[in-house]
């Protein structure tokens, strides 16, 4: 099974290597409730706008260093004027354009029976599983650019240091609903498995 097909595996496959009883518990794993979901497609535009801002800021800084505006020229003398800043802009712009496309393709999240499941990452790919029993508090965050697009970010915290999971690019209303749902989840401790 390849890593890229993992999403299918996570939702459907419960098989285990033969002769290894260690995995037997996976067998009766519940299906993902509703299955894994993508982010809101608007998140790409949001990321693109953010990337454009990065490009302007970094490109501007590079241009200053390149042309010697306000600061001494920081680029080796042999380089033609404009070469360095052009290079910086091309690299940053490429990442800002391509990055959101890959990230959007890569991002999935699911509210499963017992836990929140998040897949993400471009270079370092990861899948986080955050059991609802471990949730300490749940936030939604919305920056100024995200507000323009009507997007919000869901942030969950456990006792582990730092943020345990975040889901960016949710429709603002939906993020609220998700937050409330997670915040009021009572862990199902009653029935034995």
Partner 1 sequence: MSRPDPGPLDGEPTRLHPAVLGVWALQGVFSIVVIVVLTGIVPAAGAAMLAVIVATMVLRYLRFRWRLEPDALIIDEGIFIRKRRVIRRERIQTVDLERGISHRILGVVEVRIEAIGAGGTEGKLSAVDPATADTLRRILLGRERRAGAPWTDGTTEGPRHPDETGHPDETEALPESADARPSSGERIQEPAASRAADSPEVEERVRTVVPPERLVVAGMTGGRVGVAAALVGFLFQTIPEDWWMEGLGFLAETTPDPTSVVGIRILVVLAIFALLGGFFLSVVATVFTHWDFTLSETDETLGVRRGLFTEHRDTVPYRRIQAVQVEENVVRRLLGLGAVRVVVAGRAGGSGNEGTDLLLPIGKRHEVYQIARDVVGLEGEGRPPLERMPWRARSRRYVRALVAAAVVAALVGLVVAGRLDASWWPGVAVAFGSVLLPGLALAEGAYRGLGWTDEGDHLVVSEGVLNRRTTFVRIDRLQVLETSQNPFQRLGGLATLHLRVARPLLGSSPRALDLGADGAQRWREAVARRVGRPTDRSRDDVSATPAHGIDEGLWLPGV
Q: Minimum CB separation from partner 1 for residue 162, in Å?
A: 8
Report which secondary-structure segment, H or E, holds 152: strand 151-157
C-alpha angle 110-112-113 in degrees, rounded to nearest 5: 170
Closer CB to partner 1, residue 68 or residue 131? Answer: 131
Contacts of 127 (CB under 8 A, 6+ apart): 6, 10, 117, 118, 119
- 50 binding partner 1? (CB under 8 A): no
* Single residue of 49, 75, 114, 150 touching partner 1 by CB under 8 A: 114
d(CA 103, CA 27): 31
Q: Does 22 bind partner 1 (CB under 8 A)?
A: yes
Q: CA–CA distance from 85 to each of 7, 54, 64, 66, 82 (Å)?
A: 41, 14, 8, 6, 5
Per rule CB under 8 A, is residue 133 in the interface with partner 1?
yes
> Which of these, 130, 127, 172, lies nearest to 154 by C-alpha position?
172
Nearer to partner 1, 16 or 42 (CB): 16
Q: Which is nearer to partner 1, 14 or 150 (CB)?
A: 14
Please identify which residue in 131, 143, 177, 180 interacts with partner 1, judged by CB under 8 A. Answer: 131
The single residue among 60, 99, 121, 150 that binds partner 1, judged by CB under 8 A, is 121
Q: Compute the half-sphere exposure of residue 122: CA atoms within 13 Å on the CB side of its CA.
A: 9
Binding region for partner 1 (CB under 8 A)? 1, 3, 6, 9-10, 16-17, 22-23, 25-26, 29, 113-115, 121, 123-136, 158-162, 164-165, 186-189, 192-193
């Amino acid at each position: 099974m390849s890593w890229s097909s993992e999403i299918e595996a996570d939702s459907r496959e419960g098989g285990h290597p033969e002769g290894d009883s260690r995995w037997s518990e996976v067998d009766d794993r519940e299906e993902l409730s509703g299955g894994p979901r993508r982010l809101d497609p608007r998140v790409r535009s949001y990321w693109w706008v953010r990337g454009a801002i990065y490009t302007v800021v970094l490109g501007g800084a590079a241009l200053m260093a390149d042309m010697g505006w306000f600061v001494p020229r920081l680029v080796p003398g042999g380089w033609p004027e404009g070469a360095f800043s052009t290079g910086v802009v091309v690299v940053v712009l490429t990442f800002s354009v391509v990055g959101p496309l890959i990230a959007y393709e890569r991002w999935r999240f699911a509210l499963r029976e017992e836990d929140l499941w998040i897949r993400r990452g471009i270079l370092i790919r990861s899948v986080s599983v955050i059991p609802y029993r471990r949730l300490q508090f749940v936030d939604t965050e919305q920056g100024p650019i995200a507000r323009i697009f009507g997007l919000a970010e869901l942030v969950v915290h456990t006792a582990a240091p730092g943020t345990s999971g975040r889901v960016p690019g949710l429709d603002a209303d939906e993020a609220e609903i998700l937050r409330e749902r997670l915040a009021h989840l009572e862990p199902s401790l009653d029935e034995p498995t």
